[in-house]
Structure formats: structure tokens, C-alpha cells
Amino acid sequence: MANLNASEEYNGASWTAGNNLNTARESLGGLGTQTAGLSFGGYISASDAETEEYNGTSWTDVGGNLSTARYNLTGCGTQSAGLSVGGYISAASAVCEEYDGSTWSSGGNLNTAKHTSASIGTLSDAVTCGGSTDSGATVVTVVESYNGTAWATGHAGLSTLRAQAGGAGTASTGLVCGGHTSGGYTAINSTEELDLVLTARSVTAS
């Protein structure tokens, strides 16, 4: 399967084609908004560190690449204050990096190395949920929160094992949706909410 460089924009009702990424790749991370987006990392023929910014019209290679090339990573925050979380190199990674609008610098490492987690929130108030700790078969419910310096554990885990899930919202009122479970990579359609004390509770999928 060929890597893609396509991007699409959503207006609240339908999707339309946006301008293409400069570098076609898969399993990359993303964050930001439709008029100030960021794509980073991914996989071409090996782990990639490429970073591109979107201004609502086109993608620009900013040159400020990730310090550690990796794929299956996730992100949250804004184009000027973003966070890349975990990923996969030759194994699951605990590496996190912070983006200031032009360059990446080291952030605090995850307590549990993992990839394909769901990351939600801002640079100074983030949460990452679930993910895989190996090549993909071992899925966890681990939830960690980030204060802009270090990741903390001790939160209730997700109710359902899930990796490759989608995440949205804020660290205190976020959603984790879909993904797959461990073992047979079975796709799931359930949704969980994060409440104000960063515990997770199941919600019936609609």
C-alpha cells in the first residue's frame, strides 16, 4: 500500500479536499486546528521526523523536525504549543517532545512506553489514554496526565482495553472513542468520557 499525502477539511457537515502534505507518509501524529494545524513523524520506509504546518490553505515544511523520529505517535495542543506523545521506533517509546511554533524540545517521558494511545488536551494540561506497549498485540488501559513538565500516574484506567482510539476535548472533559482490543485486533465502537478527576467511565456508543 502506497503512503498518502492527501488531507481533507471538515465544515461541520461534509469533507472537502485540502492541499496535500509535502511528504507522503503513514502513522503520523497531528494536532491543532483547521487553520493552524501540525503534522509530525510517521513512517515512509522507516521512522520519520518530518514536521509540517497547515495555515488553512497549504502545508509548509518548517524544518524543525522531531528530535526522535518515530511513528504511531499521537499529539495534542496547538501549533505554537504542541505535544507529541510516545510512538514506535524498534519498540514502544516513552519519548515526548514539546513544540513552540518552530522547534521541538524534549518533554517529560511517559511512565509507560507505548504507541497508538489517545492524547487529549494542551501542552500544560494533557492526558494520554490506552495504547500498545509492544508491536501491537498488547493493549493497555493506562491513563497518564501531563502538567507541562512531567507525566503522572495514579488515575483510574480506561474501562476497555483500546489502542488506535480517537481522542477529543480537554484533559478534564475528554472523549476516547473506538480503537481495537488486544489479541485479535478486534475493532470496537464504544466511547468513554474523562471526568474532572481524570477517571474514566463507560458510555454507551451511539
Average of pLDDT values for 78-101?
98
Report, in angstroms and rounded to the nearest whole number, the Rg of the chain calculated over CA atoms.
16
Q: Measured between alpha carbons, how far is 62 from 65 in angstroms, rounded to an integer? A: 8
Residues 6 or more apart whose CB falls under 8 angstroms from that of 165 comprise 116, 117, 118, 129, 130, 176, 177, 178, 179
**For residue 32, is it left (φ>0), alpha (ψ between -120 and 50) or beta?**
left
Nearest to 182 by CA among 204, 165, 203, 200: 165
pLDDT at residue 202 greater than cutoff 70: no
Q: pLDDT > 90: what percent of the chain?
A: 85
pLDDT (tens digit, 9 = 90+) per residue, 25-55?
999 999 999 999 999 999 999 999 999 999 9
Please give the span between the terminal C-alpha atoms of the chain, in angstroms, as a whole number: 32
Does 117 score more than 50 pLDDT?
Answer: yes
Distance, CA of 84 to CA of 117 (rounded, Å): 11
Domains contained in the chain, CATH given: 8-203 (2.120.10.80)
- Residue 196: is its pLDDT beyond 80? no
pLDDT tens string 103-113: 999 999 999 99
**What angle (nearest 5°) sits at the alpha carbon of residue 185, between those of residues 120 and 87?**
40
